[in-house]
Amino acid sequence: MTFSRNILITGGAGFIGSHVVRLFVEKYPDYRIVNVDKLTYAGNLENLRDVAQRPNYIFVKADICDHERMNELMRRYAVDGIIHLAAESHVDRSILDPFAFARTNVMGTLSLLQAAKVYWESQPEKYAGKRFYHISTDEVYGALELSRPQGGADGHGPYGDELFTETTRYTPHSPYSASKASSDHFVRAFHDTYGMPTIVTNCSNNYGPNQFPEKLIPLCIDNIRHGKPLPVYGKGENVRDWLYVEDHARAIDTIFHRGRIAQTYNIGGNNEWRNIDIVELIVETVDRLSGNPEGYSEQLITFVPDRAGHDLRYAIDSSKLHTELGWAPAVRFEEGIEKTVRWYLDNQEWTDRITSGQYKEYYRRMYGE
Ligand code: NAD
Ligand code: TYD
């Protein structure tokens, strides 16, 4: 079978990556999608069980830091487009082990960029028709003021006048955001130095099915199920802008195909929430869908010491993406949370296998260490 495009997606076994892989495999049967993932603790092929047998899908277990392997994959699959999501992604882990973040997020991105450069420059048409699309985060911009603590008219933001735009100065605070900022700079440097056709997008907090249960929303859903405390850092007043993961995947599809080379696009939900309000919404939703009496899980909410260097507020201005490419989020937050809670309640074994470590053992046996 010949394919019209050969796209390498890194980190496709993770949360966002699995939604992107599914969208591309299903929407573009004439593209070959090569999912390259190391299957770290956060990678789970169960996320892609429904598309694993498709003729246009290939999974390769590999570390993006393995430069020779990346060279070989570029050649073997004649890759003409890269969508790069593989990363260490959890801020709390970055505080404990920053080296792992520098390794994968910085050196891994550089290893992939260099492999793309070597392969594409060896082709007669060079960079024509090629694309290196790097997925990044709004956390590189640092933190915004919380100048309107009560929020706007609907009670959920904006919590301040300022928003992150594509020209906001990079001011990362956590080892995670510092490593992502560094990788963003390397990607832009490969455009400016070698002429590689690159694009960078910086997205706000994602939520939805298949998110690893160490992140706020799935952690709370799982802890309520087990009657465990819901840890709210500090006073719960930190604000994040939340986007449903399928909306992010749609944005990635749009930008990969129609975004302008060398540009940055911010992607956000225009949907600011304080952490404490989210936890309360989850408590209400889980209790209602589980048939618990109203307020049943409320007493699980537990204020714990704040995260070190905890950014106060993130809020994204995605008007450039809206104006240029017509993208807008489609899923309202209350609707997205309802879908997400339902998914976790209907797929309890997915979380249970992760928390029990069973799935890791399965893939270790299947693919080796
Ligand atoms: P995730 O932790 O769920 O998934 C990361 C995936 O990358 C996993 O499958 C893991 O096995 C793989 N991986 C890690 N190190 C690797 C390596 N060295 N080689 C190959 N594969 C490796 O992360 P996510 O939440 O899906 O985030 C995906 C990307 O989107 C990241 O680049 C992240 O910075 C970015 N992002 C995430 C959010 C969010 O809210 N989750 C928001 C904006 C941007
Ligand atoms: P998280 O899901 O880790 O995403 P990020 O740190 O990338 O924004 O956290 C979202 C917000 O929730 C963040 O302000 C930290 C807070 N938080 C808690 O209050 N308790 C928790 O147990 C976790 C994991 C996060």
What is the third-level CATH fold of 5-367? Rossmann fold (3.40.50)
Contact status, residue 332 vs residue 162, Cβ threshold 8 Å: no
Q: How much is the pTM?
A: 0.97
Q: Quick check: CB of 13 below 6 Å from ligand 1?
A: yes
How high is the pLDDT of residue 156? 80
238 Cβ below 6 A of ligand 2:
yes
Pocket of ligand 2 contains residue 136 by CB under 6 Å? no
Does ligand 1 lie within 6 Å of residue 86's CB atom? yes
Would you name the residues annotated as active-site residues?
A: 138-139, 176
The alpha carbon of 293 and the centre of ligand 2 are apart by a number of angstroms equal to 27
343 Cα–ligand 1 center, Å: 21
CA of 203 to the centre of ligand 2 (A): 15
Other Cβ atoms within 10 Å of 119 Cβ, number: 20
Q: Report which protein residue has its CA nearest ligand 2's atom 14.
A: 238
Tokens of 126: 């060079």
Q: What is the mean pLDDT of each run of 10 residues along the chain (369 residues)?
A: 96 98 98 98 96 98 98 98 98 96 98 98 98 98 94 84 97 98 99 98 98 96 96 97 98 98 98 97 98 96 97 98 98 97 96 78 61
> In this predicted structure, what is the pLDDT of residue 368?
63
Q: What per-residue confidence (pLDDT) applies to 359? A: 62
Name the residue at shortest CA distance from atom 6 of ligand 2: 91
Tell me the C-alpha distance between 164 and 77, whole Å.
37
Which residue minimizes the CA distance to atom 21 of ligand 2?
216
Burial of 249 (0-12, 13-18, 19+ CB in 10 A): buried
pLDDT (0 to 100) of residue 279: 98
